[in-house]
Structure 1
Amino acid sequence: MFIPPVGIDGLRQTVNSHVSEAQRIWNFRSAYNVAALNCLQPQHANILEGYKAFLTGHKRDLTRINNTVENEWRQSQGKDFARARDTYSTQVYNYWALPPVLPQFCDAMTQIVQQETMMPSGSLDAFANSGMAKLEGVFNEFYSAFERYRVDVAAWDAQYGAAFGYTQLQYTNATYTAPVIPAAPAPQ
């Protein structure tokens, strides 16, 4: 599993790093969309309604932001901007839908939806930035825990691997080996 490294700024270098303000808000909208499609447990029921209200209530701002993002991609990528933006958007959606983080992601988005009802009209930027900080915190906790796991497994292997078997290779450096298919018996 790839764990985004921590940059010199002290932040993980994810798909949300070093993007424009408009792209950051659009990535938050993408997170909200992923949550509406994937957070289907009863305790997350408010997400879908919240997402619908979000799209309706911020329609003008979201259209403006999408146009800004589109122009940014056009300026940076030229005539092939649509393909580059689509590829990046897929990475964003996949980032938010990371299976081991999904339960915590859904819980965080449930809290964000509750906060949205208290936001004044015209505060999309502040709401998105606050939501992004909360969501990035969830992913950061997962990545940090996974890094600790790798360190702990390596320490266990160093201390007990020779006696009880090594786990590091099995779980973190696994390689695919094609199955051995027995040869068909010779006809008699």
Structure 2
Amino acid sequence: MRKIGTVIAGLAAMVGSAISAPASAQIFFFPPEHEGQPVTGAEPGLFTPALVGGQPADIRANLIWNLRSSLNVAALNCQFWPSIMSVDNYNAILTHHADELNAAYEGLKTYFRRTAGRRWQSAMDEYTTSMYQSYIRVGSQRSFCTAAAETARDALARPKGQLHLTAQTRMRQMRNSLVSYADATMPYHQAVPLPPMLWLDSRCWRNSNYNRRRC
């Protein structure tokens, strides 16, 4: 009996130490893989809305600004997961890559001035609003935040002037992450098996015992 008590005490100590340890901040047991091939920004279906008739400089500016937009959405919508530091990383990217981001914004202004004439400002506002909205998906919030965290860390690791490399290598991943996923332990849209309900009719019971032959 004393031996059993010693074992129980040992298990209790192990459980206590596990509870006192810092909890893991993982959202997924098995994070889905969203990686894809590098992009130029001109691939059909990559961005919504598409930049119609863009020249190489326009396409590059749009690619960088889409990266910024996606990380801005992550900063707003991923705060339920504090450990990925979505707000802090986004603000750090704005500072670290300020010159390249400003050049991308000016590049988009040049495109809309050329293609929309006098209404370029309203056309650009409509375009960028739709751009932001394209990164909001309720059913894929966790997977999107996972991809955004990886992308933000990649961007901060780049020297100034190389944000476009993060955009080229990560935007396919950001777009793929907008597909709805669930944890691999409970595949998306898979029905959860439930046991059949028992009949509650009085003929099914004999005192407190359930009579399966009758029901």
Identify whether the pair has TM-score above 0.5, normalized to the shorter chain: yes
Q: Which sections of structure 2, spanning at least 5 residues, go unmatched?
A: 1-41, 182-187, 189-215
Tell me the equivalent position of 2:79: 40
- Select the structure with the greater relative contact order (CA < 8 A; seq sep ≥ 6): 2
Whether 2:126 is the aligned partner of 1:103: answer no
- Contact 1:34/1:93 (8 A) holds in 2: yes
Tell me the equivalent position of 2:27: none
| TM-score normalized by the length of structure 2 | 0.56
Tell me the equivalent position of 2:127: 88
Task: Output the amino acid matched with 2:126.
Answer: T
- Contact 1:46/1:113 (8 A) holds in 2: no
Comparing 94-103 and 14-23, the one that deviates more = 14-23
Cα 1:49–1:10, aligned 2, differ >3 Å: closer, same or farther?
closer
The secondary structure found in structure 1 opposite 2:177 is helix
Cα 1:121–1:13, aligned 2, differ >3 Å: closer, same or farther?
closer
Distance 1:27 1:10 in 2: 13
Whether 2:54 is the aligned partner of 1:54: answer no
Cα 1:14–1:127, aligned 2, differ >3 Å: closer, same or farther?
closer
Cα 1:66–1:117, aligned 2, differ >3 Å: closer, same or farther?
closer
The secondary structure found in structure 1 opposite 2:157 is coil
Tell me the equivalent position of 1:112: 151
CA RMSD of aligned residues (A): 2.8
Q: How far apart are residue 118 of structure 1 and its match?
A: 2.7
Whether 2:166 is the aligned partner of 1:133: answer no
Q: How far apart are residue 98 of structure 1 and its match?
A: 1.9
| TM-score normalized by the length of structure 1 | 0.64
Q: What is the aligned length? A: 137
Where do residues 4-23 of structure 1 align in structure 2 (5 Å cutoff)? 12=45, 14-15=47-48, 17=50, 20-23=59-62
Distance 1:134 1:44 in 2: 20
- Contact 2:61/2:103 (8 A) holds in 1: no
Cα 1:39–1:53, aligned 2, differ >3 Å: closer, same or farther?
same
Distance 1:33 1:41 in 2: 15
Whether 2:115 is the aligned partner of 1:76: answer yes
Q: Which sections of structure 1, spanning at least 5 residues, go unmatched?
A: 1-8, 144-148, 150-188
Task: Output the amino acid matched with 1:50.
Answer: N
% identical aligned pairs = 27
Q: Deviations over 1:136-170 (max 9, x none)?
A: 1223x449xxxxx9xxxxxxxxxxxxxxxxxxxxx
Distance 1:10 1:109 in 2: 20
